[in-house]
A and B are shown apart, each in its own frame.
Chain A
Amino acid sequence: MRDRGEELDASSFDPMAEPVRPRLLAVRQPLSRRASAIAGVLAFAIPFVLWCLISYVPFLWHPLVLVTDAGDKSVPGTHSYVSEGQLVDRADFAARNAELARAGARQARGERSNPIYLQPPHAVGRALYTAFTTPPEGTGDVWLHESLWQSCQVIFWGFFWSALLGLPIGILCGTFALFSRLFEPFVDFVRYMPAPVFGALAVTVLGLADEPKIAIIFIGTFFQMVLVVANTTRTIDIGLLHAAQTLGASRRQLLFHVVVPGVVPALYRDMRILIGWAWTYLVVAELIGEKSGLSAFIYQQQRYRHFDNVYAAIIIIGVAGLAIDQLLAFGARYLFPWESGNTRLARLARGVRRVLPDRLAPARVI
């Protein structure tokens, strides 16, 4: 045992002592692996448990009453409309029972219930399953997975055209002051116009099918993308450009051998965020012209008051977005081995490229 009165100095350091456990709330310190994993699970578990509590615990919220027995229907009164199978306010239900009590008639019965728009987890879970197994109600209606596929196509093409133009223009703006002055003021101006305001115009010009929807996604992401890409391109370390210049790189070589490979990992991250924007615009885009995709499905199910299906579709959008993002994050580890330090993969890629004939090998500097 250490003497309590001992001065706290280097000699009091005990190498066998337990390592200090990282605290849960330490400013700008990483969590332990265990705590981090648990917190990640809780991130989804807490909202889910809250949802379950509100759905299944009868005395939590439940502002309505589902009438199971309307009591004596012959008794007149201001609340005589209360009948079996109805969802009524608790106050109205109590008023009807008061009327019935005054007449000495049979009491109405019911159970406390949530509004129709708050579906319990099991109903949404069932809807997720039945959406893929039972045919749609109306003729001409689409299955959930068909509408999901339709949405994915709209997102893909909208984002594809946006990136095809936005990436090169953004990189040019971030590299050359002239392009920046030529493009950015106008782009900044259009950026503030909400994409949906171009909806009517897009339908007039491009018709009712997918084209106007793709156009809305394009408008919603392109102008943001130019500015984001330009700003990211400007973050390249000027020292790298100077070094390349002293190594004899021409202006063209600076652009293609330094600026582009230097910012590609950051641009890739930007694209992940911008795909999120594309999903946001999807919902408006699909409601213009001929309604289509997941938004049409949601709109239709809401009119049928099938809120379990509405939630199922919303969850599918979330899952699809998260899946795409995680897929892209995973891809980054292969594409940019110098960032993750994953040289094993890089060696593999180099090996593959060595086996390929020169003409087929992708002409990358990596």
Chain B
Amino acid sequence: MPLDEPIALPSYLDHPPEVAARVQELAARPVVMSVEALTRTFEGTNGPMTALSRITFEVRKREFISVIGPSGCGKSTLIRILAGLDYPTGGQVRLDARPVVGPGADRGMVFQGYTLFPWLTVKKNVMFGLKMKGVGNAQAEKIALEWLEVVGLTAARDQYPAQLSGGMKQRVAIARALANEPRILLMDEPFGALDAQTRCSMQAHLLRIWEKVDVTVLFITHDLDEAVYLSDRIVVLGANPGRILEIIDVPVSRPRREEQFLSGHFLATKKRLEDLIHRPEVALANAAPPTVHAA
């Protein structure tokens, strides 16, 4: 076979047995967050502009779900609405069946920009949410130190954010969000500003935390590898207006390892994402072939 021939990839819909079992098991779990016909229009100078159109999906307990899409597809607007920092003009978001009406400690968030409080030490940053809830100093400190241990930053507990690297800052931000024990952790391109090496190690780090800690993650990204590597499911958004093109069950087995980046199922999923993002009309016209259940 000539070297530059494309490799024959399996279909991204072809689930190996352990993946198929996991997909079924996930679908049976209780729903943590449900997004129902969510629509957001902005009043622009040239009339109303629809940023999100009838977005509907559910996030299940301890699931790792990613939202991916081209720039301008409204993925940031979506996560801001889920966090309660923005409001929908149609539809609603429900967390444990209760409608979301504003920001709250039940939905932790990690932002792309560094949002650690510069005047607080690392430890006090992690204690912030607990203090807001009225947890006593000693108890808050104990919990904060536990979370700093989880993210591996115990040694930096008395440093100020300005003294940390980008990756360390985001680890503190993760610890700070998790210390509140949120029902869901919303992550808005948290590694987008990091260099490639740091991003890779942060992804592996996040997976280890997620395996250890009982938390559901909704992760926004524009990085295809990141989405496939981390997620159980990927919500693919299209632009103008922002809408769901497809929700993909990732056919890569867990626990994830870096070697899987070059596995057939990984590459097939990545190829499908690429087609959906860059050539949505073509990709959707070649509609998903009938689901093939592996053996």
Interface of A toward B, CB cutoff 8 Å? 237, 239-240, 242-250, 253, 257-258, 261-262, 264-265, 336-339, 341, 343, 346-347, 365-366
Q: Contacts A239-B111, A243-B109, A248-B105 known; A366 to B120 CB distance under 8 Å?
A: yes
A-B contact count (CB 8 A): 93
In the complex, what residues of A have CB within 8 A of residue B121's CB?
346
* List of A residues within 8 angstroms of B160 by Cβ: 337-338, 341, 343, 346
Residue B247 CB within 8 A of the other chain: no
As a 0/1 sequence over residues 131 to 164 of chain B, the CB contacts with chain A under 8 angstroms (1 = contact) are 1110000000000000000000000001111110
- Given known pairs A237-B115, A239-B113, A245-B103, the reply for A365 and B124 (CB within 8 Å) is yes
Known: A248-B133, A253-B132. A243 touches B159 (CB 8 A): no
Q: B128 contacts which chain A residues (CB < 8 A)? A: 244, 247, 249, 257
In angstroms, how far is the closest chain B Cβ from the Cβ of A351?
A: 11
Q: Other CB < 8 Å A-B pairs besides A248-B132, A257-B131, 6 of them?
A: A242-B83, A243-B117, A261-B119, A262-B119, A338-B119, A341-B162
From A246, A257, A262, A336, contact of B108 by CB (8 A): A246
Whether a CB of chain A sits under 8 angstroms from the CB of B236 is no
Cβ of B163: which chain A residues have Cβ within 8 Å of it?
A: 341, 343
B129 within 8 A of A: yes
CB of B107 closer than 8 Å to a CB of A: yes
Q: How far is the CB of B153 from chain A (nearest CB, A)?
A: 16
Question: A247–B162 contact, CB under 8 A?
Answer: no
Partner of B119, one of A250, A347, A365: A365
CB neighbours of A240 from chain B (8 A): 115, 117
Select from chain A the residue with minimum beta-carbon distance to B108. Answer: A246
Q: Mark B85-111, 1 if CB is under 8 A from A, else 0.
A: 100000000000000000111011101
Residues of chain B within 8 A (CB-CB) of A339 are 118, 162
Contact of A336 among B85, B111, B119, B133 (CB under 8 A): B119
Chain A residues whose C-beta falls within 8 Å of the C-beta of B131 in the assembled complex? 257, 365
Contacts of A264 in B (CB 8 A): 119
B145 to chain A, nearest CB (A): 15
A247 to chain B, nearest CB (A): 4
Q: Which of A242, A343, A365 contacts B158 (CB 8 A)?
A: A343
User: When chains A and B are docked, how far (Å) is the Cα of A245 from the Cα of B115?
Assistant: 12
**B61 in contact (CB, < 8 A):** no
Are B107 and A246 in contact, with the CB atoms below 8 A?
yes
A190 vs B158: C-alpha distance in the bound complex, in angstroms? Answer: 47
| Residue in contact with A247 in the complex, picked from B84, B114, B132, B158, CB distance below 8 Å | B132
Asked if residues A247 and B129 are in contact (CB atoms below 8 Å), the reply is yes
Contacts of B162 in A (CB 8 A): 338-339, 341
The distance from the CB of A234 to the nearest CB of chain B, in whole angstroms, is 17
Among residues of A, the one whose C-beta sits closest to the C-beta of B117 is A240
- Knowing A244-B128, A365-B124, the reply to whether A262 touches B117 (Cβ < 8 A) is yes
Nearest-neighbour CB distance to chain A for B78, whole angstroms, equals: 15
Chain B residues lying within 8 Å of A245, measured Cβ to Cβ, are 84-85, 103
Bound-state Cα–Cα, A343 to B159, Å: 8
A247-B130 Cα distance, complex, nearest whole Å: 8
What are some 17 contacts across the A-B interface (CB < 8 A)? Answer: A239-B113, A243-B115, A244-B117, A246-B104, A246-B105, A246-B107, A246-B108, A246-B109, A247-B108, A247-B128, A248-B104, A253-B132, A261-B120, A264-B119, A337-B160, A338-B118, A339-B162
A257 & B132 in contact (Cβ 8 Å cutoff): yes
Rounded to whole Å, the gap between the CB of B166 and the closest CB of chain A is 15
B177 at the interface (CB under 8 A from A): yes
A29 to chain B, nearest CB (A): 23
Contact at A347–B103, with CB atoms within 8 Å?
no
Answer whether residue B75 sits at the interface, using C-beta atoms and an 8 A cutoff. Answer: no
Q: Tell whether A247 pairs with B180 under 8 Å between CB atoms, given A242-B85, A341-B160.
A: yes
Q: Closest approach, in angstroms, between the C-beta of A80 and any C-beta of chain B?
A: 78
In this complex, what residue of A is CB-closest to B182? A246
Given contacts A247-B105, A338-B162, contact A239 B115 (CB under 8 A): yes
Closest residue to A347 on the B side, CB-wise? B158
